[in-house]
Amino acid sequence: MPDAFEAPDATEVPAAPAPAEDTSADGSATGSRHVPQPGDAVPQEAVAARRSVFVVFLCFGAVYANWVPRVPQIKHALGLSDSGLGVALLGAPVGTVCAVRLASWAVGRWGSRRVTRCGAVVLSAVLPLVAVAWNAVTLTTALLLLGAALGLTDVAMNAQGVAVERALRRPVMSGLHGAYSLGGLLGALLGSTAAHLDVAPLTHFTVIAVVSAATVWCGSRRLLPADEPSPASPGTPPTAAVAKANAKARADTKANAKARPARWPLAVLLLGLIGLCSFTGEGAVEDWSAVYLRDGLHAAAGTAGLGFAGCSAAMTVVRLAGDRLVARFGPVAVLRTGALVAASGLGAGLALPSLIASTGAAQPAAIAGFTLFGAGVALVAPVTFSAAGNLPGTPSASAISRVTGIGYLGFLAGPPVIGFTAQAAGLRGALAIPAALAAAIALLAATVRPRRGTSARAPEA
């Protein structure tokens, strides 16, 4: 099996054709960047950028995951009630939703490379602020800043991932999101270990911040300097004609942005709806699976966490293999099949306990259901972000920020919706909502089909 970072042998690939301007449907020149052709050799810069953005995704997942296992200790130290902690925890998703719109402007202004590197360092630096909070207000503020750094970095690194994917001319987004999941597992393990050893949260978070900031800053030096590849051949600078076309395209983009208000294409709304369905389900499993196993099925404290653990592990494994699945079967088939697995797996996991008299058999069934749900929705985010970043006529960062903004509303609305529904219909009935949303993703799967004109991308300003 070839190395995931390995580039094709340039000696076996025909020479790249001369660059030319793209033309629109009526034959007029669009002035967009050079479009890589199937026979082009893969630039070594793109292979190095793939490694760099992998490091960013890995650290991104690890930083926030270190905070999660310390929540009970910080809650106790601040003397917060359950409702007070619930309000404080809203700070992170609120900050994220607010920051994703700023991220689009920032990437357009400075490029995804610079915003990704700086955003990841800021994310690391903000983490210790959570440990110095002295009441609910300061904790909410710290989490608001942490969420804002998460949102800014999230959009920028996904825009960089789309650029790398386009430069390599093969799917890479699933593997990148697999790095995020892997980082999340690593961070949760480190956080749990620090909590077990009774390491002070400030000490713990400071060490993680320093290590993460240094790792991401040194490891991300090879990110692509532009959000779309423009060289006519690997290792050579763009020609004067290509450079002129690039400058014209950027000028046209800025002029168009001033000439008309920003529009939300239907495809962006539908992709955002897919993300909303997925993130609502993921948030519900993260927040409520342990409660369901503990209170509903009377699982032991150690067993109650296995539902989310199984979901996270399955997402990591599937994402790391996802690029090959997408390359072989296509994004639509992969998304639809995964959504059906998530819907049927979670649905069966919730239905079986009512049919099985033995509690001992009911708990494994529920854990298996949460695990299948994680495997099914694992590729929703990478496939959706890739589709958004390649929409014709829309800058990558702009489309990704809009899709992310809609999708992250699921993290805001999901937990309370599940809670209120559980109050009326029971937690088992409430957890059927993520299964129904997964089925909705299957119905919307055609939205991620690559569109004509994808290569004629609107450049980032």
Predicted pLDDT of residue 64: 84
**Band (113; pLDDT cuts 50, 70, 90):** confident
Predicted pLDDT of residue 343: 95
Predicted pLDDT of residue 221: 85
Is pLDDT larger for residue 28 or for residue 77? 77
The C-alpha atoms of residue 55 and residue 347 are separated, in whole angstroms, by 36
User: How many Cα atoms within 13 Å fall on the side-chain side of residue 318?
Assistant: 27
Best-predicted range by mean pLDDT (138-142, 362-366, 448-452) = 138-142
Domains located in the chain, CATH noted: 43-228 (1.20.1250.20), 265-461 (1.20.1250.20)
Quick one: tokens of 252? 């046209």
Q: What is the DSSP letter of 345?
A: H
User: How many Cα atoms within 13 Å fall on the side-chain side of residue 9?
Assistant: 3
User: How many Cα atoms within 13 Å fall on the side-chain side of residue 398?
Assistant: 20
The C-alpha atoms of residue 213 and residue 55 are separated, in whole angstroms, by 11
**Band (11; pLDDT cuts 50, 70, 90):** very low
**pLDDT exceeds 70 at position 22:** no
DSSP per-residue string spanning 140-188: HHHHHHHHHHHHHHHHHHHHHHHHHHHHHTS--HHHHHHHHHHHHHHHH
Residue where the block lists tokens 């369905």 = 277
286: CB partners within 8 A, 6+ apart: 308, 311
Question: What are the backbone angles phi and psi of residue 202, rounded to the nearest 5°?
Answer: -65, -45
- Point out the least confidently predicted range of 5-19, 32-46, 108-122, 388-402: 5-19
**DSSP 3-state assignment of 29?**
strand
The C-alpha atoms of residue 329 and residue 336 are separated, in whole angstroms, by 11
**Band (127; pLDDT cuts 50, 70, 90):** very high
**Closest of 99, 46, 64 to residue 234, by C-alpha:** 46
**pLDDT exceeds 70 at position 293:** yes
User: How far is CA 82 from each of CA 71, 79, 88, 377, 418, rounded to the nearest angstrom?
Assistant: 11, 10, 10, 29, 16
**pLDDT exceeds 50 at position 331:** yes
Predicted pLDDT of residue 318: 92
**pLDDT exceeds 90 at position 162:** no
**Band (388; pLDDT cuts 50, 70, 90):** confident
DSSP per-residue string spanning 306-350: HHHHHHHHHHHHHHHHHHHHHHHH-HHHHHHHHHHHHHHHHHHHH
Asked if residue 377 lies in contact with residue 80, where contact means CB atoms within 8 angstroms, the answer is no
Percent of the chain past pLDDT 90, that is, above it, reads 22
**Band (231; pLDDT cuts 50, 70, 90):** very low
User: How far is CA 43 from each of CA 16, 114, 145, 230, 236, rounded to the nearest angstrom?
Assistant: 11, 21, 37, 11, 9
**pLDDT exceeds 90 at position 210:** yes
Sign of the alpha-carbon dihedral angle for 33, 222, 397, 173: positive
Predicted pLDDT of residue 239: 41
The C-alpha atoms of residue 320 and residue 317 are separated, in whole angstroms, by 5
- Point out the least confidently predicted range of 1-5, 158-162, 303-307, 421-425: 1-5
Q: What do you get for the CA distance between the two ends of the chain, in Å? A: 39
Side chain identity at residue 66, one-letter code: N
Q: What is the pTM of this model?
A: 0.71
Mean pLDDT of the chain: 77
Predicted pLDDT of residue 302: 65
Quick one: tokens of 19? 């660059």
pLDDT, average across residues 122-149: 90
Is pLDDT larger for residue 189 or for residue 130? 130
**pLDDT exceeds 80 at position 342:** yes
